[in-house]
Amino acid sequence: MAIDLIFEALASRPRREILAYLSKQELTAGEIAGRFAMSAPAVSRHLSILETASLVKSERRGQYVYYSLNSDNLVNTLTSFAFEICPRGRPLKRESRQLRAAKHKS
């Protein structure tokens, strides 16, 4: 199931760090591996887990494989999960309340 893959993928600090790097710019597998102490094959495995969860996508260009973020999928999953678990959650709900208030004001 999609949500299982996503939470499994997020349950790893190096994988979350990879997402953070990719949030700034696309990077090749090698550039990503260069930012970690672990071996390239280990990073490649992390990338494949992130890709299977469809949190990132990859594209080969010549010799290199470029990775980039699938940000919509991540945000959608996390927010819908948060809403489901805590229908009266704070920060999201606060935005909604302000939004309603602002609308009524006008």
Partner DNA sequence: CAAATAATTAACTAATATGTTAATTGCTTA
Partner DNA sequence: TAAGCAATTAACATATTAGTTAATTATTTG
Among 14, 54, 57, 78, contact with DNA (rule: CB under 7 A): 14
CB of 18 closer than 8 Å to CB of 50: yes
52 sits near a copy of itself (criterion: CB under 8 A): no
96 forms part of the interface with a copy of itself (CB under 8 A): yes
User: What one-letter code names the amino acid at 97?
Assistant: R
39 binds DNA (CB under 7 A): yes
Return the ∠ at Cα 4 (arms to 91 and 11), rounded to 5°: 70
CB closer to a copy of itself, 20 vs 38: 20
Q: Which amino acid is at 65?
A: V
Does 69 participate in binding a copy of itself (rule CB under 8 A)? Answer: yes
Q: Please state, in angstroms and rounded to a whole number, the distance separating the CA atoms of residues 28 and 68.
A: 9
Cβ 57 vs Cβ 47: under 8 Å: no
Among 10, 57, 65, 73, binds DNA (CB under 7 A): 65
Residue 25 sits in the site that holds DNA (CB under 7 A) = no
